[in-house]
Structure 1
Amino acid sequence: MTVRTDGGRSEVERVARGSVTEGAARAGLVAQGVIYLLVGVLALRIAAGDGGHQADRGGALAEIADQPFGDVLLWALGIGVVGMVVWRLSEAVFGAVGPDGRKPHMRLLAVVRCVFYVFVAFSVLAFAAGAGGSGSGAGDRESKDVTARVLHLPAGQWLVAAVGAGIVVAGVWTGARAVVRSYRDELKLAEMSRGARRLVDVTGVAGGAARGLVFAAAGVFAVLAAVDYDPDRAKGLDDSLRAFAGTPLGPSLLGCVAAGLALFGVFSFAMARWRRV
């Protein structure tokens, strides 16, 4: 006798795609928005001449910790990022929304995103618990330390260069998708007013382009670290942002990128409201 499992599998998938996963996804998008908004604001301060802040996740967490009920807010933020882990894990196992959501490359992308948010969630929760792993300058130090360790491996230069090139490609891909407004495929457009669509387009295009540019810049620095065999050439988010101020356009370019990151935070809030999950 053959036992059919289709019904059980469908029930498991229905539960996984139900209100719990949807709530986790929306909480995760809100947490993402908070982090990017704060990073953007901190980078704007640096562009304005206040260099005493770290424009990275550690700096954003430190800002939250200094607020009333900061500890509670940090734990809430960490739990929100855990929601992103749950959502991306669900996409890896059951597929994402959309006609291509079940294809292997989409599942692999979900796995990569899940691993990334596991790291982010761990760092946020560690900071909330007082471990201090995401303190001032931690992101830049971690980038240099990891690069140094990998460079000493067999074929380490090639590996660092390959990872850096991959980050560059991911940054360009991220920015390009934002510019062509591919995020619209993931939105409940029928539920949005004209003003809401305009808000999403402004924040999505500008924010996504800025985010992609920062990723690409970090990837370029990783490639340079590999070429020069110098881990100090690698840069975290804060150092990558500060590098924009060293271009011929000076702090004005950093200000534009910083504003874009803040807009991406607002875009994340909009996605939390209208994204199809």
Structure 2
Amino acid sequence: MLEHLTRAGLVGYGALHLLFAWVILRIAFGRAPADGDQSGALHTVASKPFGAALIAAIVVGLVAMTVWQAVEAVAGHRDERGRHRVYERVASAGRAAFYAYVAWSGVKVLKGKKTSSADAQEQASQDLMVSGGGRLTVAAAGVAVVVIGAGLAIYGLAGKFEKHLKAGRRNPAVRTLGIVGYAAKGGAYAIAGVLLVLAAVRYDPDKARGLDAALRAMAGHAYGTWLLTVTALGIAAYGLFGLVQARYRKV
């Protein structure tokens, strides 16, 4: 049962990234939504017919994915020699936390809450930056996000995601989707992390808005439209890779 729900969750997660890519394109061409991240994508779904039902289905799938990764984190991963791989357990714990966060964002949208995740991040950062220690905390969080973004990009460029696919399902098309998708997502998170550090250094909470701030920062450059379009294509590739994983991921 958990496997079927997890695979359904991977479908929803992939679809959510395709919607996120659409949100990025809207920012690129001056039709920006209120929130330029996964929360914005969920609000976009909510505004459509049967949107609430779709979000509910995505939330159920994300909860299943959270449980799946939590079990992986506790039970541990083993290599070919049967040894536990600590870094894989840590990665699973991180994924479980992230899936739970996105699922909670979906629940809030279903409850009709209009506050965006970007606004919440900005307010939390502003509250922290009242003190010097709080600013250090925000800066440290920014560095952590940069590391996570770089890790995602390296993970994708090295093709390490292929080891999680069923044997015989590794081909150039799937590899390309994974590489491009992970690199784009990692790059977006790295930029968000850099902006978070700058927000702490300059005491500028407006930059502490996560992916929303990163995307709008890109839009402000001379080649912003092109940068955002390329990023949107990369996130779309990640979304398509998520759909591939729904069928071929080892669960």
TM-score (norm 2): 0.91
| Aligned: 1:144 with 2:122 | yes
Q: What secondary structure sits across from 2:182 in the alignment?
A: helix
Shift of 1:174: 0.6
Please name the residue that 1:161 is paired with: 139
Q: Which deviations, in whole Å up to 9, do the C-alpha atoms of 1:46-87 show, x marking residues without a partner?
A: 223323464322221122123222221111111111111111
> In the TM superposition, what whole-angstrom CA distance separates every residue of 1:74-122 from its partner, at most 9, and x where no partner exists?
1111111111111111111112465488333322332222222222211
- Within 2, Cα distance between the matches of 1:126 and 1:157? 28
* Closer/same/farther in 2, CA of residues 68 and 233 from structure 1, 3 Å limit: closer
Query: Following superposition of structure 1 onto structure 2, how do residues 36-47 of structure 1 map, counting pairs within 5 Å?
Result: 36-47=17-28
Alpha-carbon distance change, 223 to 74 in structure 1, aligned in 2, over 3 angstroms: same
* Alignment coverage as a number of residue pairs: 250
Unaligned runs of 5+ in 2: none
Q: Calculate the TM-score normalised by the size of structure 1.
A: 0.83
Which amino acid counterpart does residue 17 of structure 2 have in structure 1?
Y
The one-letter amino acid paired with 1:182 is K
- Residues 137-160 of structure 1 deviation map (CA, whole Å, 9 limit, x = unaligned): x12211211111222356222221
8 Å CA contact 1:40, 1:262 repeated in 2: yes
Counterpart AA for 2:144 = G
The alpha carbon displacement at 1:180 in A equals 1.6
Gaps of 5+ in 1: 1-19
2:30 counterpart residue number: 49
Equivalent pair of 1:139/1:237 in contact (CA under 8 Å) = no
| The one of 107, 125, 141 aligned to 2:107 | 125
Q: State how 1:50-69 maps to structure 2 within 5 Å.
A: 50-52=31-33, 54-69=35-50
Based on CA coordinates, which of the two structures has the bigger radius of gyration? Answer: 1
For residues 32 and 180 of structure 1, the distance between their equivalents in structure 2, rounded to whole angstroms, comes to: 22
1:1-277 mapped onto 2 (5 Å cutoff): 20-52=1-33, 54-96=35-77, 98-99=79-80, 102-133=84-115, 138-153=116-131, 155-190=133-168, 192=169, 197-277=171-251
**d(CA) in 1 for partners of 2:218, 2:79:** 37
Equivalent-residue separation in structure 1 for 2:155 and 2:47 (angstroms) = 36
User: Which portions of structure 1, spanning 4 or more consecutive aligned residues, are displaced by more than 6 angstroms?
Assistant: none
